[in-house]
Amino acid sequence: MKTLYYSHDDYLKHDTGIGHPENARRLLAIDQALATPDFDDLVRMSAPLPDDILDKLALIHSQTMIKRVLHGIPSHGYHHFDGDTVASPGSKAAALRAVAAVCDAVDQVWHRQANRAFCAVRPPGHHAMPDHPMGFCLFNNVAIAAEYARRHCGLTRVAIVDFDVHHGNGTQTAFYDQPQVFYASTHQSPHYPGTGHSEETGRGNIVNVPLPAGTAGEVFRARYQNIILPKLAAFKPQLLLLSAGFDAHRDDPLASLQLVEDDYRWLTRELVAIAKTCCDGRIVSALEGGYDLKALAASVSEHLVALMAE
């Protein structure tokens, strides 16, 4: 089956200002890394912008929040929703296409037009709360896609695995009392945003595995093997969504974990193996963090090699 790769030039127009780590160069670095024969079999998809995109936002976000974000996007210059979260004139199309890409990937994968998908989107999403944007994120791309899968595809068991170095507080909040959605996260702790403690378990559907600064691949893999992967397999998801952050890499400037590219390939292989047994291999992965350009490009490449493997 095919593996889809979603992108769009509008993502490059989300200008966050000079010196901001979440910038368009991230996607340019990924595109350059994927311009080799190893990735010729990827099916390149242009992120859509459907007429019902506001309805998709409302699956997770309040109407007040949606209006605040869309009205806050300036016609020129920059608007800061907080100290980290910046919008510019190109941010509206980018943010809406980010949500649309992940939802479209769910449709394609669920209806067997493809087996897996990777959405190279920006802005990222997993910090966006139901009622406010934060942490570089305007709307919560993966959370919206999970709820879209439930409402429009009739799924009753959707799993999200988040391996960004920062805890996905927005995603956890959205599904904290929703046992039909499994959310598991590894993340550096203590670190931004200060959530994701192991005792935060929702209704048994939330699994947080905080990792201290300096944690390297051996411990990271063991935590997945001993904690997250068994619980994910026991949940038996019908669809697996990934909040694919690559900022736990040892070269990333925003954190202090010590992963390398092979750790991402290993984890992706393990997740693919579980998906094959639970949900016919159906995986949709969406880009979150990763701010060292070389490390990001290399890590995404390894992630995709594992997603594409049969």
What pLDDT does 1 receive? 76
Mean pLDDT of 174-179: 98
Local confidence band at 153 (pLDDT 50, 70, 90 cut-offs): very high
CA 264 to CA 243: how far, in whole Å? Answer: 12
Q: Give pTM, 2 decimals.
A: 0.98
Residues 6+ apart with CB under 8 A from 16: 22, 23, 78, 86, 88, 136
What pLDDT does 310 receive? 74
Instruction: Using a pLDDT cut of 90, give the percent of the chain over it.
Output: 99
Which DSSP letter does residue 4 get?
A: E
Question: 74-133, pLDDT tens digit by residue?
Answer: 999 999 999 999 999 999 999 999 999 999 999 999 999 999 999 999 999 999 999 999
Question: 189-221, pLDDT tens digit by residue?
Answer: 999 999 999 999 999 999 999 999 999 999 999
Kindly list the structural domains of the chain, giving each domain's residue range(s) and its CATH number in brackets, ordered by start. 3-308 (3.40.800.20)
What pLDDT does 106 receive? 98
Q: Strand 283-287 vs strand 239-244: parallel, antiparallel, or unpaired?
A: parallel
CA 215 to CA 227: how far, in whole Å? Answer: 16
CA 186 to CA 184: how far, in whole Å? Answer: 7
Question: 111-121, pLDDT tens digit by residue?
Answer: 999 999 999 99
What pLDDT does 94 receive? 98
**Which residues are known catalytic residues?**
127
20 pLDDT above the threshold of 80: yes
Nearest to 139 by CA among 187, 102, 191: 102
| Residue 310 or residue 26, greater confidence | 26
Mean pLDDT of 294-300: 98
Average pLDDT, the chain: 98
Is residue 13 within 8 A of residue 90, CB to CB? The reply is yes
Mean pLDDT of 9-26: 98
Instruction: Using a pLDDT cut of 70, give the percent of the chain over it.
Output: 100
Which DSSP letter does residue 37 get?
A: G
